[in-house]
Structure 1
Amino acid sequence: MSVTSYQPPQKPALNKGEMTQLLDIAREAISGHFSEDLPRPPQLDLYNRKLLANGACFVTLEVNGELQGCLGTVTANEPLVIEVHNKARDSAYQDRRFMPLTEDQLDSLTIEISVLSEPKLLQVDSEEALLTYLEAHQVGLILTEHHAQAVFLPQVWAKLPKPANFLKALKQKAGWPMNHWSPNIRVKTFTTTQIKGKYISPIA
């Protein structure tokens, strides 16, 4: 099979109602930080089997349209509802690129949940082959070499629509020169199911 005919993974099969439940979980994880009680993880018996299955996700926070935090995992090690809760909390208060979220930012906060498909290894023998594939498939991408790894969600294509620029920026994120390529680089692709909404206090 040539790389250009290699199809990306299918999106996680979550419906709008299930994604809305995940968005509510993220809101509760964030709001719990500002309450007198410690934030509690989701009550598992409230959710269906798809939301209780192990899942990988990223939670992206923006304040007034500007990135405020984005953390996640590409490996499904925890039930999805727990992963969303933990990553929402971590994105708000543990992303070292940003100051922790403050209560006066909540009115301008938006939350985006991205649930990842299982990443698929893409066999490419050159950077040119990868760029050819990306011309046809604007997927999420994971580059790994030894202990270095970098991930771009599919949403990054909106800001970097040209495959060459997308790939250069991802290599920079990994700490490599923009012209770096090696036969040791492993390439994985994934897709996402997403939902984005304003922060609404679950207590209000």
Structure 2
Amino acid sequence: MSVISYQKLSKGELTQLLDIAREAIRGHLSNGEIKAPQLDLYSKKLLEPAACFVTLEVNGELQGCLGTIAAHSPLVLEVHNKARASAYQDHRFMPLTKDQLDKLTIEVSVLSEPERLEVNSEQELLDYLADNKVGVILTKNHKQALFLPQVWEKLPKPIDFIRQLKVKAGWNAAYWSADMVVSTFTVSSIKGKYF
């Protein structure tokens, strides 16, 4: 499946994606029927398969973040599904409540296709990241972890960024293996308040 060229998404298209995420959360909380986006309302670009993440914060603290690195379905449906999952199915957090909505911010990130980065050591990776604040995926055997580029705001030093990413995957912070697969990506994102 082809992945949309996220750079070509306009601010208007990103705003539509943010609105889809809001509606997915609103529909779940209303106890009504949760309706998927009506596909004929969107441009061809937003109907192409794309990978995305939806991140939720309440009072600036993470409340949920789920997504995919592989494009499986139209972007509008991915955003809808990931918004609901981030709000109610991220097992790290209690499900979102109505009381949290006035302090809720939603961020939708559309990912570029990940590209493998050939590095011979962890130090080579750290040197690369000193000049390239990109999203990173570490993979070895059946373990994998991903940080969006936005994580650089909280972990600005490459060594801290990579150590925390390794811990997220279930490795020791000091762990490194010669057969670690490193992939990088960029995002096009939009962030806004729920209300």
3-state SS in 2 of match to 1:193: strand
CA RMSD of the aligned region, Å? 1.1
Equivalent residue number for residue 145 of structure 2:
150
**How far apart, CA to CA, are the structure 1 residues paired with 2:78 and 2:119?**
31
**Selected match of 2:171 from 172, 176, 180:** 176
| Structure with greater contact order relative to length (CA < 8 Å, sep ≥ 6) | 1
Does structure 1 residue 137 correspond to structure 2 residue 132?
Answer: yes
Q: Distance in 1 between matches of 2:58 and 2:160?
A: 26
* Alpha-carbon offset, residue 144 of structure 1: 0.3
1:84 paired residue number = 79
TM-score by length of 2: 0.95
2:14 aligns to what?
19
Once the two structures are superposed, residues 136-162 of structure 1 have per-residue CA deviations (whole angstroms, 9 ceiling, x without a partner) of 100000000000000000011111111
1:59-109 deviation line (CA, Å, top 9, x unaligned): 011111111111111111111000000000000000001110011111111
SS in 2 for 1:22: helix
Q: TM-score, normalised by structure 1?
A: 0.91
When residues 89 and 175 of structure 1 are mapped into structure 2, their CA distance, relative to the original with a 3 A threshold, is same
SS of equivalent to 1:151: strand
Residue of structure 2 equivalent to 1:121: 116
1:77-116 superposed matches below 5 A: 77-116=72-111
Match of 1:195 in 2: 190
Q: 1:67 aligns with which of 59, 62, 66?
A: 62
For structure 1, the residue ranges without an aligned partner over 5 or more in a row are 1-9
**Could you list the runs of 5+ residues in structure 2 that have no partner in the other structure?**
none
